[in-house]
Amino acid sequence: MDKPNFLRKFCILGLGSTEELKEDLTIISETSVNFVSGEGLIIATFQTAFTLPEIEELLKMTNRSYIIFEMTAGFYSASIENKEFQEALFGGEIDSTKTPFHLMEEALKNVRNGIFSNPEKISGFTDNQVDDITYKSDEELLEEALDKEDYEQAAKLRDKINKNK
């Protein structure tokens, strides 16, 4: 069965009572919890519909010691020498150069460079590209945002679609 697209990916570093934290994570997570652990330390990745503040509230109720962050594409990276750990925690190698955020940064850099070095010819944008623009419905844009795991944009589009119904 395919994983729902609305799930957020998180990584947590837990200290102290790792077995109790594992139990908490299995309750919070919508999918299996992937982890590596040692005495008094756990690194785990999981997917959930909960937001960061909601997870924080749940973990603080049980007095857990942790560091947690959402693994938003383009805003995190990890490289673990042990490839089994890399695969288990992150699903393999992470290539941050192919994220929409990075690609947009590169396009903006090309525009900026073109403006300052040769204003007549801005690299990355041409009249032909402007003519070739195809307009997409909000539903199509929502589907693309979910595919790209851009949950913030997806939420905005969902709200816009619901407002227009």
Express each pLDDT in 39-60 by its tens digit.
899 999 999 999 999 999 999 9
- Looking at the DSSP bridge assignments, the partners of residue 65 are 15
pLDDT of residue 36: 87
> For residue 12, with 0-12 CB atoms within 10 Å meaning exposed, 13-18 middle and 19 or more buried, which class applies?
buried
The predicted structure's pLDDT at residue 122? 47
What pLDDT is recorded for position 59? Answer: 92
Q: How far is it between the farthest Cα atoms of the chain?
A: 63
Mean residue pLDDT of the chain comes to 80
Render each residue's pLDDT in the chain as its tens digit; 165 residues: 455 568 999 999 999 888 899 999 999 999 889 988 888 999 999 999 999 999 999 999 988 999 999 988 777 777 778 888 878 787 777 766 666 666 777 778 877 776 655 555 544 544 444 444 466 788 888 888 888 888 888 888 888 888 877
Query: Could you give the domains of the chain?
Result: 8-94 (3.30.70), 97-164 (no CATH)
pTM, to two decimals: 0.55
